[in-house]
Chains A and B, each alone.
Chain A
Amino acid sequence: MGDAATILLVDDDKDFLELERRILESRGYRVICFSDTRTALSALNAAGQAVTPDLVVTDLMMTNLDSGFTFARALKADPHTAGLPVIIVSAVSSQKGFDFKPRTAADLEAMGADAFFDKPVAPEALLDKVKELLG
């Protein structure tokens, strides 16, 4: 509590953006919100005044399905952000009949994520996972 870790939050649905922001802020985390991954990525890479979060919470299906996955993988691929824990919170866990809900650690790793939650995420579950990942 009140350790003032910074969390980067991405969701194109402003209800979820605000919901998750409030949940995270209730534990004293600093939350930076973005409604799309492109802006979030450029904020992370902005020279000089780059945002330096300790953890990322992102939606999956935004401008297109891939955006959440692409974003998570881009973070893991970049040495500056590779160490950032990523939590995916999504209402979608299947596409065209393919269930992509991760069930094992390997599934999560393939997604470039450290945790996956179905929407709406229970406040306590999200907070516990954040605490665990910030360790």
Chain B
Amino acid sequence: MSEPAPAPPADSASISALPVRAAQPARILVVDDELGVREGCRKILAAEGYEAVTAGDGKAGLEQFLERGPFAALLVDLQMPRMSGLELMREVRSRDPDIVPIIITAHATIDTAVEGTRQGAYSYIPKPFTPDELLLTIKNGLERRTLMLEARRLRQEREKRLLELASERSKSNTIIAAMTDGILVINTDKLVVLRNNAAARILPDCASREIPFPLEAITSPDVKEIVSVVIDSPGGFMILSRQIPLGQSTYMVNVSPVIEPGGETSGAVAVFSDVTEMKKLDTAKSMFVSLVAHEVKSPLAATEGWLNLILSGMLKQDAAEEHRMLQRALLRVRTLRTMVNELLSLTAIQTGNFSLKRAPVKVAALVAEVVEANREKAAEKKIVISMSGEDSGDALCVLADRDTLSMVYANLVENAIKYSREDGHVWVSVRESGMYVTVAVKDDGIGLSPEDCTKVFDEFYRARNEHTASIPGTGLGLSLVKRLTELHEGTVTVASTLGKGSEFTVSIPVLAGASDPVTRS
């Protein structure tokens, strides 16, 4: 009886935050036109720790309600001047449906009681009543209210959680559906219970199956096996990865167990990542390594062959013969070293580790240097090199790494000499063409077939014919020329006729303003 009653809510929005037991006493509005009754009630209630507010008629009661509310309970007489008890109850309940209305009436009849409860009264107390009767009714009413409020708070909390959960779920579902990796979730009964769009595409044979469907419906034995092994693994901590070909593609399939918070395995998640492109790259890399190994093996084998022959003594060679053979071996070793250097450069370019120190370079001067450096080699084969455009002087500048660009031009000039016949002619020209500085190296040598022209910039490609058989080469020079030119935002092209000669053209963007004497100084 002396238990303090819970406080009413300040407003319905704060219900979820309402403590079950409040420190504040429950407030009760007592409305009766009989002063004795309302004062008697106030005293009884105050003695029990309730805070009672009184009013003498319906209108005053409504005013008190509006000014001093909220109240946990309303004790109301039915027949009052200005505003009846039922009317007041309606007004009050429309504003606070949680208030506990209790009717106190001297005209206790079944009819008024029924009407009162029909309009939402919790109970009624016929006058006259004892303090215990009043307090018991109030206590029961307030307890019911507390339970109701608490139940509502819980319900609202649950609804809120459900709402959050639903939105989380739809978020997760949206994300899973949008993933490019295929996802399957399989339960311990080996039923597929989740499949995203990508998985349906990757496993088209079971795309039309409704979820859940048995794992057995998946055609790929590899997928079935890897999933089964994970689900069946004791302890459920096994994670498996396997490359599995599915359709035209290869997938890395990762299967991991779904472990519940209690530690029990409830199934497995299989993630399918498309590794087709990576596999292609991997194969290309292996092929390249194999190609390099073969290309390295030939000069190495030839060198070993010569050394073997000299050391065997079986030929009883004179010193001059031996010297000649050693020179042949040396030539192959040099080619090998050049090849290794070129390979290192190519690798550096491909991995982005080839750094260019760019500065304005006068192309004509650079090309003239390259030509001069090759005159002697040309003279050995009685080849004449003529150069045009060297008088362009300072006009044709490019922003380039001078050493690298020199390597590009030197490679073309050396090739022109290498693939020319004796008494041949090599023409080197420097000119401006549009936004580019173009260097052309032309020869009247052995030339290239149309097929060779398309492949001549490929790594390790060498034109093979009776003329090239005795010319040492790595098959990497022109691919390096192409890569280095491209590093300078330039292009390299070839025009050739088999048996008539070739022309290689390298174009590098001209450095705007460099020819302007003011900016250059």
Interface residues on B, range: 20 to 34
Q: Does A131 contact B (CB under 8 A)?
A: no
With A13-B298, A22-B315, A26-B315: A94-B290 Cβ-Cβ less than 8 Å = yes
Tell yes or no: B23 within 8 A of A by CB: no
Overall SS of chain A's interface: loop
Does A77 make an interface contact (CB < 8 A)?
Answer: no
Check if B314 sits within 8 Å of A120, measured CB to CB.
Answer: no
Q: Does B466 contact A (CB under 8 A)?
A: yes
Whether a CB of chain A sits under 8 angstroms from the CB of B301 is yes
For A61, the closest partner residue in chain B by CB is B294
Known: A14-B470, A23-B309. A63 touches B464 (CB 8 A): yes
B301 touches A120 (CB 8 A): yes
A14 to B472 CA separation, bound complex (whole angstroms):
10
Q: Find out whether the CB atom of A119 lies under 8 angstroms from the CB atom of B298.
A: yes
**Interface pair B306/A19, CB less than 8 Å apart:** yes
A12–B470 alpha-carbon span in the complex (Å): 8
Q: Which of B294, B305, B312, B314 has the most CB of A within 10 A?
A: B305
Whether A119 and B301, one on each chain, are in contact in the complex, defined by CB atoms closer than 8 angstroms, is: yes
Given A19-B306, A19-B309, A62-B464, A12 and B314 touching (CB < 8 A)?
no
| Chain B, Cβ-Cβ closest to A63 | B464
**A123 touching B302, Cβ below 8 Å:** no
Contact A119 B466 (CB under 8 A): no
Q: How far is the CA of A94 from the CA of B464 in the complex (A)?
A: 20
Q: Could you tell me if A91 and B297 are in contact, using CB atoms closer than 8 angstroms?
A: yes
Query: Which of A13, A63, A92, A96 has the largest count of B CB atoms less than 10 A from its CB?
Result: A13
Mostly helix, strand, loop or mixed at chain B's interface? Answer: helix
Q: Which residues of A contact B298 (CB under 8 A)?
A: 13, 91, 119
Q: Which residues of A contact B469 (CB under 8 A)?
A: 12-14, 35-36
Q: How far is the CB of B288 from chain A (nearest CB, A)?
A: 12
Interface residues in A, total, Cβ within 8 A: 25
- Decide yes or no: A12 and B464 within 8 Å by CB, A91-B297, A94-B290 being known contacts: yes
Q: Measured between alpha carbons, how far is A18 from B301 in the docked complex, in Å? A: 13
B332 & A15 in contact (Cβ 8 Å cutoff): yes
Determine whether the beta carbon of B309 is less than 8 Å from that of A22: yes
Chain B residues in contact with chain A, CB under 8 A? 286-287, 290, 294, 297-298, 301-302, 304-306, 308-309, 312, 314-315, 328, 332, 464-466, 469-470
Task: Please list the residues of chain A having a beta carbon within 8 angstroms of any beta carbon in chain B.
Answer: 12-16, 18-19, 22-23, 26, 35-36, 61-63, 91-92, 94, 96-97, 119-123
10 interchain pairs, CB-CB under 8 A:
A13-B302, A16-B302, A16-B305, A19-B305, A22-B309, A22-B315, A35-B469, A91-B297, A119-B297, A120-B304
